Amino acid sequence: MHLIWENLLPNLIKLWTGKFKDLDHADEPYVLTPTVWEAIGTASAAAGSTMPSAFGSRVPNPADGSIKLTAETTALWTLYIAPTLLLNRFKNAKFYKHFVLLVKLLNLCMQFEITDSQIDELRKGFRDWVVEYEILYYRHDPARLALCPLTIHALLHIADSIAAIGPVWTAWAFPMERYCGQLLRGIRSRRFPYASLDNYILERSQLKHIKLLYDLYEELRLRAPATGIGHVLLPEYPLFVFMPPQSRHERLPNEIHTKIIAWLVEEFGVRPSTAQKLVRTARFTQYGKVRRLEGGDTISASNLVRRQEDGRDATFVRYDRFVDKNARFKNKPVEMERRDKFGQLLRVVIVPITAEMDVHLHVDGGPRTYALAVIRSVKIEKRHSLGMSYYSQMGPVDVVDLDAVRFVVGRVYDPSQRLWAIVDRSDILTSTQVQ
């Protein structure tokens, strides 16, 4: 994919800024004015604070000529940020639609698994994209032949390459680049760098073989384990680690207290008065961070974790919520369906169901502990063709079981629309990350 990130996209940016080679780009409809491009660059850099670190490196200002985007930051900008910030920026909307088509094809390329029908879709999609590129930019004008470099033609071979060797992640250069970065730390001698490098690789291989042969993974671990001091595991939630800061036996705000009562009523079918009695004197344990295991993300609770000035926001999440499809119709029966929602995690509350409480609740399997996610929802106003959702205002508070929280999400603020775009990485890169 370096063909895309280090050649195709930088060339498109040069086109949009009127700096591609020595061609005359004056008054071209694909050229963004300097003011618009600077605004896009500023908003792109600002998005680094609202994109969790799990998404990748912070994207710098692409309009700053002194900064060169790497393949990774170009990929992040293309897939997550540019679709929002380029909307309604071109004089002719055809150029934006052409770019969005490219992003859709790249999303398809980067799936963890890909079918034969999707490969056929890629083959046709890249062919159509190249034909449209020649119409919009090259215009079949020999004087503009420089607009058709080899990297444009190479797009036509991506589908065949995937069919031959598998999804792009099986052959891309990011793992080797990371490995080369690790090897640099092994060079301890300026006089004999290659001998030092050889010894480092040999010793690492020997250590891995010893771990494998004698099952000494924990004893010979060179890094801190996934769980550390203050980290808590609950048997009822094997996929989560609860992390500090921790608050014990603190009474919750009235709004959240009321929502937990409503959750008890909905979950166990008890009367509101009964639920209120059960939690009236309760003092709950709360956690400021939670990490989903098996490659999941670390999510922060905004009420309990103070984000540093240069920190990155990891408090917004995608979660499941069951709602009544017929809530607006009094005479129709209740029909629950699962819906994806987005919101900001406020806190994680541990609710132990004791034997005394279970007399009223009748929990399946007897007394147990529940972890509840308190989330301030967002009011979705519209959706992008790429699946991104937009909002400008926060909605009511939801209390859901922690198992309903799926992924951490990022956000990009578009000043031109005065809307926040929610970037859901789970839809863009299904189990495949740039690392």
Q: Are both 386 and 338 inside the same structural domain? A: yes
Residue 319 lies in a domain: yes
Q: Are both 352 and 390 inside the same structural domain? A: yes
Closest CA to 287 of 269, 277, 271, 299: 299
Question: What SS3 class is residue 57?
Answer: coil
Residues, the chain: 435
Phi, psi values for residue 9, rounded to 5° = -65, -45
Q: Note whether 243 and 288 are within 8 A (CB).
A: yes
Q: How far apart are CA 177 and CA 185, in angstroms?
A: 13
Q: How far apart are CA 260 and CA 262, in angstroms?
A: 5
Pull the structure tokens for residue 329. Answer: 């119709």
| Total count of domains within the chain | 3
* Residue 409 to residues 111, 127, 340, Cα–Cα distance (Å): 18, 32, 12
Q: Are both 181 and 111 inside the same structural domain? A: no
Closest CA to 153 of 175, 134, 169: 134
* Residue 336 to residues 52, 322, 407, Cα–Cα distance (Å): 32, 6, 22
Q: Are both 82 and 200 inside the same structural domain? A: no
Closest CA to 149 of 159, 134, 128, 129: 134
| Residuewise pLDDT in 10s, the chain (435 residues) | 778 999 999 999 999 999 999 898 988 999 999 999 999 999 999 999 999 988 988 999 999 988 888 888 999 999 999 999 999 999 999 999 999 999 999 999 988 889 999 999 999 999 999 999 999 999 999 999 999 999 999 999 999 999 999 988 888 877 888 788 888 888 888 899 999 999 999 998 999 899 899 988 778 877 665 556 678 889 999 999 999 888 876 778 888 888 988 888 888 888 888 888 877 767 789 999 999 887 788 999 999 998 777 789 999 999 988 776 666 777 777 676 778 899 999 999 998 887 777 777 777 777 888 999 999 999 999 888 887 899 999 999 999 999 999 899 999 999 988 999 999 887 544 434 444
Which pLDDT belongs to residue 435? 40
Residue 379 lies in a domain: yes
Q: Angle 52-55-56 (CA atoms, 0-180°, nearest 5)?
A: 105
Determine the straight-line distance between the first and last CA of the chain, rounded to whole angstroms. 13
Phi, psi values for residue 418, rounded to 5° = 60, 40
Which pLDDT belongs to residue 225? 58
Q: In the block, which residue shows the tokens 């099986």?
A: 170
Instruction: Answer left, alpha or beta for residue 17, where phi above 0 means left and psi between -120 and 50 means alpha.
Output: alpha
Q: Are both 163 and 268 inside the same structural domain? A: no
Q: What is the CA radius of gyration of the chain?
A: 26
Tell me the residue range of the domain where 84 lies: 2-170
Q: How far apart are CA 74 and CA 359, in angstroms?
A: 58
Q: Are both 71 and 181 inside the same structural domain? A: no
Which pLDDT belongs to residue 363? 77
| Secondary structure (DSSP) of 28-40 | -TTPPPHHHHHHH
Residue 224 lies in a domain: no
Which pLDDT belongs to residue 430? 40
Residue 290 lies in a domain: yes
Q: Are both 136 and 195 inside the same structural domain? A: no
Q: Note whether 237 and 371 are within 8 A (CB).
A: yes
Residue 49 lies in a domain: yes
Q: Angle 341-343-349 (CA atoms, 0-180°, nearest 5)?
A: 105
Q: In the block, which residue shows the tokens 């639920």?
A: 275
Residue 435 lies in a domain: no
Q: Note whether 292 and 239 are within 8 A (CB).
A: yes
Give me the amino acid identity at 92. Answer: N
Q: Are both 249 and 140 inside the same structural domain? A: no
Q: Are both 396 and 300 inside the same structural domain? A: yes
Q: Are both 252 and 359 inside the same structural domain? A: yes
Q: Are both 252 and 383 inside the same structural domain? A: yes
Q: Note whether 183 and 200 are within 8 A (CB).
A: yes
Q: Are both 159 and 99 inside the same structural domain? A: yes
Which pLDDT belongs to residue 227? 54
Q: How far apart are CA 282 and CA 350, in angstroms?
A: 11
Residue 301 lies in a domain: yes
